Amino acid sequence: MSGSIISENTLQSVISIVKEASSLMVGKGYEVFEKDGFANLVTSSDIAVQEFLTGRLSELLPGSGFICEEEDFHDTSKELIWIIDPIDGTANYSRGIADCCISVALAKKDEGPVLGVVYSPARGELYSAIKGGGAFLNSKPVHVSDRPFENGIFCCAMSTYRKEFAKTCSDIIYDVHMQSNDTRRWGSAAIELCLLASGFVELYFEMRLQPWDYAAGALILSEAGGCIASFDGKAPSLYAPSLVVAANTPGNLQRLLGIVHDHMDSLPY
Ligand code: 2AM
Ligand code: CA
């Protein structure tokens, strides 16, 4: 438990709200739209889940602000800010692939994420954490694995929206792939960070993620004993896009970041 507002009760309320919101994802028809080009999809479910969550979460914590993926719903002036991806893995969702989830973080302005919930109804997985209270998968505590880099499974992506960075991504991915066990691309950053938190995989890299992709997953991972950083080795920003590396141990994180730095002197955006 951290502070008086972020209690186990708050977490349980957020979990109930997120589960209720998921009924807008499952068992219903939906429309698919393109936004900012053919690679970037949004469905009517993304919009419906976001509207439901913003309504219910502002009732839960009156006066809190929001950073959400859809429809520029941004208000970062408040002390407590909800960072929401109504559906992370929309491309998977729109094809009926199970690897998609609702991602909700609550951040304190000067402290970063203090609560995180990632719920994938189709996978039957609910990950949660409160800062200082450990991380859980379906109410059972989870922890990162202790596998060395060489035995690590590496999650990554090729910069879906900004294809101009794909060649650099592929060079980084090749180097990590050659030094580790194998490579995966699930299509939901939040789920991948939670799989790292739960000890299923060990290494993670994406060139450019948005705060709603990683805010909840970052807290769940840290609370599970893992580490996450941006290009400069510091915590990824909650207010701007970030390169994200994550790993099960500080040593593996530094080695991964070293490979990233071998291919980039500075961030290309
Ligand atoms: P999104 O579904 O919320 O947009 C980083 O890999 C992020 O890119 C994912 O968390 C997912 O976030 C998005 N993504 C994954 N696969 C994608 C695809 N095939 N097309 C578009 N966006 C994708
Ligand atoms: Ca999304």
CATH for 157: 3.40.190.80
**End-of-domain residue from the set 95, 118, 142:** 142
User: Is there a single domain that holds both residue 198 and residue 253?
Assistant: yes
| 1 inside domain | no
Domain housing 166 = 149-263
Q: Which token pair is 166?
A: 């794909």
Q: Ligand 2 centre and the CA of 38: distance in Å?
A: 15
| 134 inside domain | yes
Structural domains of the chain, count: 2
What is the band of 72 on the pLDDT scale with cuts at 50, 70, 90?
low
Q: Could you tell me if the CB of 187 is within 6 A of ligand 1?
A: yes
Q: Could you tell me if the CB of 213 is within 6 A of ligand 1?
A: yes
| Residue in 30, 32, 90 to alter for ligand 1 test, most ligand atoms within 8 A of Cβ | 90
Would strands 203-209 and 153-156 be described as parallel, antiparallel, or unpaired? Answer: parallel
| 268 inside domain | no
Residue nearest to atom 18 of ligand 1 (CA): 91
In one-letter notation, the amino acid at residue 10 is: T
**End-of-domain residue from the set 142, 167, 185:** 142
Pairwise CA distance, residues 89 & 102, whole Å: 9
Q: Ligand 1 centre and the CA of 112: distance in Å?
A: 23
CB 253 within 8 A of CB 203: no
Question: Which three-class secondary structure state does DSSP give residue 201?
Answer: coil
User: Is there a single domain that holds both residue 135 and residue 160?
Assistant: no
What is the pLDDT, as a whole number, of residue 19? 98
Is the pLDDT reported for residue 2 higher than 60?
Answer: no
Task: Give the lowest-confidence range in 37-51, 78-92, 93-107, 206-220.
Answer: 37-51
Atom of ligand 1 nearest to the CA of 213: 10
Neighbours of 12 (CB within 10 A): 11
Residues in the chain: 269
Model pTM score: 0.96
Span 98-146, pLDDT tens digits: 999 999 999 998 899 999 999 999 999 999 999 999 999 999 999 999 9
Is the pLDDT reported for residue 4 higher than 60?
Answer: no
Ramachandran assignment for 71, one of left (phi > 0), alpha (psi -120 to 50 degrees), beta (any other): left
